[in-house]
């Protein structure tokens, strides 16, 4: 560990004279395909291996390691052509911004030390990262590292970090074992000991500044930073609960979406009926009878949407069971055929050893006769040659038989999968057809409820207008309904407009469910065919 620290310090000494010594004639540039090609072809191989390596074509998908050190690089680009890159070294350059690397999701090691980076950003998607070095940059704030849950080694030494804020976030990186923050302004803070702080708040970290954190250090740190640790633990507990709640919410949302009944578990459909419905809102101003009627309407809609919601979840669980069973059977069938194939190969390899022993014995006998100077055309030699030819022919026949066996097994697997897939498709289609049929019945009930509500509202509104006209009492009539006092057809138009709006919203929600159901079937069939 002390060697790694010394290595980073040596890099710092080198950087001080970088502009004067390293490639003084090269202008700061951008990573290009030509630069990538050159770095790959000059990949440290020596002698004949280097010559053969440079003769090979550059296949970007096969490149897993790339070193672009001391190249005067100012900007990162073109790395999207390296989808399988696992190790990237960009240290000792002039990079100011971390960019255009978020697609390198296979990356395990990233070295950006000795650059001019001011902010940790655009690495949240590198979820497989295990080693990250940002040593000797211009970073002032620890941030955007929460998603790197596989991180084991992290170096942020020699930056401009002046606060402990963000260090506590490393508690969520359960695999983090090595941390370096040396050379930051925070270390110069009076009565502050970074090594003890890290030992106290990061129980999973085993090495700080590449030195072992002892139990004594951890105990001292916990005593010295007792209050800070208490606050961090309290905040962590709250966040863990919040994360669990969010995860459950996301799971439920995904589950509801997969069940095609999202936003039907509460009063969302009823509330959507009134959005933008000016006619309906005007009618609700009639008074308590209209309000009571709307409340009854809400309850009726809710009862039916609850039926849809529960039915959707039940059918979802049924489909998931069918899908998982199909996938399990498919996997078991493939493993079975694979094992059968392995058995055939192992039998063949054992047979091959016996045949090669026989062939070797015959060849040695021929060689011995030749060394003795015996005639190659003698009956004994010809008999040995005949034996060798027979062994060769029989071995060729065995190879052909093995090939036939393997191909027969493969063909059987293909036919079995094809038959299982067809049956599975039929069952899923039948299940979805049954689901759609029942849901359409529920939506028919919702339309009936909307029509019944409009009929009841007609009675309430007519009674309201007749009462006002009989008493000639228009003082408390809402402005939106005054014109209905003179024109009775106007109130019927308001009710008709409300009914049309509500039924249209119900139809739209039904159509969305139907389309999603059809898409589910089509996408699943396409996936199975692929």
Tell me: the pLDDT tens digits for 441-478?
999 999 999 999 999 999 998 888 888 888 888 788 78
Six-digit token string for 354: 């016996």
Report strand pairing: 131-133 vs 87-89: unpaired
Q: Is residue 312 part of a domain?
A: yes
- Phi/psi for 260 (5° steps) reads 70, 15
Residues 6+ apart with CB under 8 A from 266: 302
Domain end, chosen from 209, 244, 279, is at 244
Residue 7, in any domain of the structure? no
Does residue 195 share a domain with residue 109? Answer: yes
Containing 424, the helix (H) or strand (E) segment is helix 379-471
Pair 195, 333 in one domain: no
**One domain for residues 393 and 480:** yes
The reported pLDDT for the residue numbered 527 is 80
Confidence check: pLDDT of 18 > 80: no
| Mean pLDDT of the region 420-449 | 92
What is residue 2's predicted lDDT score, i.e. its pLDDT? 43
Pairing of strands 109-111, 178-180: unpaired
Q: Hey, what long-range contacts does 292-297 have (CB within 8 A, 24 or more apart)? A: 293/453, 293/456, 293/457, 293/460, 294/453, 297/270, 297/449, 297/453
Q: Say if CB 447 and CB 251 are below 8 A apart.
A: no
Q: How far is CA 40 from CA 31, 50, 62, 333, in A?
A: 13, 11, 11, 42
pLDDT surpassing 70 at residue 7: no
pLDDT digits (tens, 9 = 90+) for 34-68: 999 888 888 766 666 667 767 778 889 989 999 99
The pLDDT of residue 174 is above 70: yes
> What's the 3-state SS for 435-498?
HHHHHHHHHHHHHHHHHHHHHHHHHHHHHHHHHHHHHCCCCCCCHHHHHHHHCHHHHHHHHHHH
Is the domain of 366 the same as that of 456? Answer: yes
- Phi (first) and psi of residue 372, to 5 degrees: -80, -10
292: β partners = none
Lowest mean pLDDT among 259-263, 394-398, 430-434: 259-263
Dmax (CA) of the chain: 140
Predicted pLDDT of residue 369: 83
Question: Is residue 43 one of the residues assigned to a domain?
Answer: yes
Sequence-separated contacts (24+) of 82-91 with Cβ below 8 Å = 82/36, 90/115, 91/11, 91/115, 91/133
User: Do 25 and 117 belong to one domain?
Assistant: yes
Q: Token pair for residue 510?
A: 């039904």
pLDDT for position 278: 84
**In a domain? residue 264:** no
Whether residues 306 and 450 share a domain: the answer is yes
Residue 13 has pLDDT above 50, yes or no: no
How confident is residue 165, by pLDDT bands cut at 50, 70 and 90? very high
Q: Is residue 417 part of a domain?
A: yes
- Residue 188 maps to which CATH number? 3.80.10.10
User: Model confidence at 20, in pLDDT bands (50, 70, 90)?
Assistant: very low
Are 279 and 168 part of one and the same domain?
A: no
Number of domains making up the chain: 2
Spatial neighbors of 477 by CB under 8 A, at least 6 apart, are: 468, 485
- Determine phi and psi for 210, rounding to 5 degrees: 65, 25
* Beta partners for residue 65, in sequence order: 87
Pairing of strands 211-212, 87-89: unpaired
Contacts of 290 (CB under 8 A, 6+ apart): 283, 284, 457, 460, 461, 464
Let me know if residue 11 belongs to a domain: no
Q: Are residues 276 and 236 in the same domain?
A: no
Would you say 61 and 37 are in contact if contact means Cβ atoms under 8 Å apart? no
Same structural domain, 473 and 439: yes
User: How far is Cα 111 from Cα 117, in angstroms, rounded to an integer?
Assistant: 12
Same-domain pairing of 109 and 206: yes
Residue 519 maps to a domain: yes
Q: How far apart are CA 156 and CA 160, in angstroms?
A: 9
Looking at the fold, whether 351 and 219 belong to one and the same domain comes out as no
276 and 228 in a single domain? The answer is no
199 assigned to some structural domain: yes
Contacts of 139 (CB under 8 A, 6+ apart): 117, 118, 119, 120, 156, 159, 160, 161
- Measured in residues, the chain has a length of 530
> What average pLDDT does the chain have?
88
Instruction: Report if pTM > 0.75.
Output: no
Low-confidence winner among 216-230, 364-378, 495-509 (lowest mean pLDDT): 364-378
Q: CA-to-CA distance for 109 and 26, rounded, in angstroms? A: 27
In angstroms, the first-to-last Cα distance of the chain is 49
CA–CA distance, 405 with 64 (Å, rounded to integer): 37
HSE-CB at 452 with a 13 A cutoff on CA atoms is 12
Structural domain for 61, as ranges: 18-244
Q: What is the dihedral of CA 155, 158, 163, 165, to 10 degrees?
A: -20
């Amino acid at each position: 560990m002390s060697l790694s620290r010394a290595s980073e310090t040596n890099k710092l000494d080198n950087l001080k004279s970088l502009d004067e010594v390293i490639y003084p004639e090269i202008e700061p540039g951008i990573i290009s395909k030509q630069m990538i090609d050159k770095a790959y072809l000059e990949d440290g191989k020596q002698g004949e291996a280097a010559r053969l390596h440079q003769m090979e074509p550059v296949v970007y998908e096969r490149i897993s390691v790339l070193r672009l050190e001391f190249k005067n690089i100012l900007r990162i680009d073109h790395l999207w052509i390296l989808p399988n890159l696992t190790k990237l070294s960009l240290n000792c350059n002039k990079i100011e911004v971390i960019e255009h690397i978020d697609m390198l999701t296979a990356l395990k090691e990233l070295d950006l030390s000795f650059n001019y980076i001011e902010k940790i950003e655009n690495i949240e998607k590198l979820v497989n990262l295990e080693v990250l070095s940002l040593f000797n940059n211009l970073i002032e704030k620890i941030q955007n590292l929460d998603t790197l849950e596989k991180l084991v080694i992290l170096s942020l030494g020699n930056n401009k970090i002046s606060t402990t804020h963000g260090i506590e976030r490393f508690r969520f990186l359960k695999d983090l074992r090595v941390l370096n923050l040396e050379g930051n302004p925070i270390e110069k803070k009076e009565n502050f000991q970074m090594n003890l702080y890290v030992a106290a708040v990061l129980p999973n970290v085993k090495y700080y500044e590449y030195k072992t954190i002892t139990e004594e250090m951890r105990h001292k740190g916990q005593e010295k930073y007792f209050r800070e640790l208490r606050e961090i633990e309290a905040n962590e507990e709250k966040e863990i609960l919040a994360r669990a709640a969010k995860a459950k919410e996301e799971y439920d949302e995904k589950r509801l979406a997969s069940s095609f009944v999202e936003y039907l578990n509460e009063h969302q459909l009823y509330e959507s009926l009134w959005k933008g419905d000016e006619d309906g809102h005007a009618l609700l101003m009639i008074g308590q009878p209209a309000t009571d009627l709307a409340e009854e309407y809400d309850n009726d809609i809710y009862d039916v949407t609850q039926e849809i919601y529960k039915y959707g979840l039940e059918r979802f669980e049924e489909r998931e069971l069918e899908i998982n069973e199909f996938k399990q059977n498919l996997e078991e069938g493939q493993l079975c055929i694979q094992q059968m194939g392995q058995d055939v190969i192992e039998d063949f390899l054992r047979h091959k050893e016996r045949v090669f022993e026989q062939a070797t014995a015959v060849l040695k006998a021929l060689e011995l006769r030749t060394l003795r100077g015996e005639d190659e055309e003698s009956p004994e030699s010809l008999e040995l040659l005949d034996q060798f030819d027979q062994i060769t022919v029989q071995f060729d026949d065995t190879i052909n038989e093995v090939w036939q066996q393997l191909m027969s097994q493969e063909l059987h697997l293909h036919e079995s999968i094809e038959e299982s897939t067809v049956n599975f498709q039929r069952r899923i289609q039948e299940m979805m057809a049954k689901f759609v049929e029942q849901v359409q019945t529920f939506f028919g009930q919702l339309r009936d409820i909307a029509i019944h509500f409009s009929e009841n509202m007609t009675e309430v509104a007519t009674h309201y207008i007749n009462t006002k006209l009989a008493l000639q009492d228009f003082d408390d009539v809402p402005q939106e309904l005054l014109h209905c006092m003179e024109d009775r057809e106007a109130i019927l138009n308001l009710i008709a407009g409300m009914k049309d709006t509500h039924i249209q919203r119900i139809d739209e929600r039904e159509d969305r469910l139907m389309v999603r159901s059809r898409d589910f079937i089509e996408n699943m069939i396409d996936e199975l065919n692929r």
